[in-house]
Amino acid sequence: MARQHRTDEPLARKWFAKHGLTELVNDVVTRCPTKTIMLKETKDVAKGPKISSVAINDTQSLEIDNSNCVRCMHCINVMTGALATGTDQSVTVLMGASAH
């Protein structure tokens, strides 16, 4: 079973309203190692079983082709809640710890 990103549109819109386009592009879209997360006009978003998408405002959406996602977790860590790992249990565990 493919591991699909889950998305939450209200949280995605809220994230975008708070952080804006510059941060979305510079910190999310361009940092995807496989360039599989894209900012698109909502009307141009691809459809299909391997595509996850979520609107960030009334005209634009993020599109993720899950078949190209290597589950680095970056986008999920930045847009926590708006993007989430799939519901199956094959989760990539990436832990960061800092000692204080």
Residue 34 in contact with ligand SF4, rule: CB under 6 A = yes
Spatial separation of the C-alpha atoms in residues 32 and 27, rounded to whole Å: 9
Binding residue (CB under 6 A) for ligand SF4 from 3, 6, 11, 32: 32
Q: Is residue 69 within the footprint of ligand SF4 (CB under 6 A)?
A: yes
- In this structure, what DSSP letter does residue 44 have? G
Contact 78, 30 (CB under 8 A): no
Choices 17-25, 42-50, 55-63, 66-74; region in contact with ligand SF4 by CB under 6 A? 66-74
36 counts as binding ligand SF4 under rule CB under 6 A: yes
Residue carrying the six token digits 């949280």? 11
Q: How far is the CB of 70 from ligand SF4 (least distance, A)?
A: 5
Using alpha carbons, list the distances in angstroms from residue 61 to 5, 44, 52, 65: 14, 9, 10, 13
What is the binding site for ligand SF4 (CB under 6 A)?
Answer: 32-34, 36-37, 64, 69-76
